[in-house]
Amino acid sequence: MTSKRLAHYLALAIVVLLPLYYLRFNIGGLPTNFIEILIGLLLVLTLGSYQRLSLPNAWPIGLIVVGVVLASFFALDTRVAFGIVKGWFVIPIIYYSCVTTIFPPNQRQVFIKPALISLVLVSLYAIGQRFGLIPLLSYQLPEATQYLDQGRAVGFFESPNFLAMYLVPLTLVTGGYLVLTKNFRWLAWLVLPLVAIVLSQSQAGWLAIGAGLVWLCLWRSSTSLAPSRVKLIGVGVGTAVLLLALWKWADDSARLLIWQNAWQMVKDHPLLGIGPGQFQANFLLLGDQSGQFAAVLPYALHPHNLFLNVYLSTGLLGLIGSVWFLAGLGKEFFRNAARSPLALAATSALVAVLVHGLFDSTIFKNDLAIIFWLLVFLVSNGYKESNANRA
């Protein structure tokens, strides 16, 4: 097998094996995990086979990376901060660069099958675990025990919310593509992730998958992406539902306290932010550690909002880079989605990630960051697909 074919298959295998990033170990004193090793090998194979790396949107990505590195230098715990820079920023971007180099637009639909396999495996594990057929793994203890006691599925993860954040975008990109290309023979398998998402009892996950489905339905019926009355009404209704959801979750006193303190951190650190993985430590500095504050502290691991997390983790530079990057993704959507079912399906998944991000940090985790960059890669697919290119 040539190194090019090996790189091709390894890139696909990483999608299937994503939850195995929990297999952690040290190499020469440097903490790493199984997926990082695979992506390092993918990088070597890609450079050896292609003698180059492609990185679309390099300028906004560069701003994000510079922002998070600067913020990490001034973090309360620089070791944790730079570990996150490696695992949540650099490694996923390397994967994005490798797959962009390896797979031309007319081959990118091949990621649908490994995404479906990953969905089925993770969902079966979560469902079996929820009904007592599969025990918790050692790294899940003791946090996940309380959720299983509440009747919530967790799968390979420490919380039901992580399970939903993993399943929702992959379900949308896979299901959306299969429906849009009328490839129904694999569609029944998606019952499993839908059941697992229901069992997670993640209300934000339910809202996110609903938002992705609405987006898909709004744009799938026409070859033109020009606004129409129906689309505008649909967007308006969807916005109203999101605002109602925001109002409902803001009424949760714990979440509101976390948001208020996150905004205070933004005001205290408007340029550099606080660095990645530093939210709980900075949260401690803002309260009296008694009453409601003490009760909320264990849940204040992050701001429970993707956009606040981006600002606090990467500073103003990273925020500017993120807005610039998202604007570029919007341009890719309008360029590609009318002719590419894959791009349209991936965009619906990204919409779900952003909607879910109103209530959680949907890309600040090893596996979730790789899923995000995979979706970005698929949105940029401008190839006009035919029946011959179905999954």
- At 48-93, the pLDDT tens digits run 999 999 999 999 999 999 999 999 999 999 999 999 999 999 999 9
Res 80: pLDDT: 96
Q: With the C-alpha atoms ordered 169, 173, 174, 179, is the resulting torsion angle positive or negative? A: positive
DSSP class per residue in 3-22:
HHHHHHHHHHHHHHHGGGGG
Domain boundaries, position 40: 3-389
pLDDT at 255 (0 to 100):
84
- Residue 349: predicted pLDDT: 97
Q: What is the pLDDT of residue 387?
A: 40
| pLDDT tens digits, one per residue of 255-307 | 889 999 999 999 999 999 999 999 999 999 987 766 778 888 888 999 999 99
Quote the pLDDT of residue 386.
47
CA distance 131 to 127: 6
CB atoms under 10 Å from CB of 176, counted, come to: 25
Read off the pTM.
0.93
Pick the closest to residue 148 from 166, 125, 131 (CA basis).
131
The distance of Cα 120 from the centroid of its chain, to the nearest Å, equals 18
Provide the pLDDT for residue 384: 57
Both tokens of 345, joined, read 């399906």
- Profile the chain (391 residues) by mean pLDDT over runs of 10 residues: 94 97 92 97 97 94 98 97 97 98 93 98 97 90 89 94 97 95 93 97 90 84 55 66 62 82 96 97 84 83 95 98 94 76 93 93 96 95 52 50
Q: How many domains does the chain have?
A: 1
Give the torsion through C-alpha atoms of 317, 323, 326, 331, to 10 deg.
-120
H helices present in the chain, as ranges: 3-17, 34-50, 58-73, 78-84, 91-102, 112-130, 143-149, 160-180, 191-200, 203-220, 229-250, 253-268, 279-284, 291-296, 306-336, 341-356, 366-379
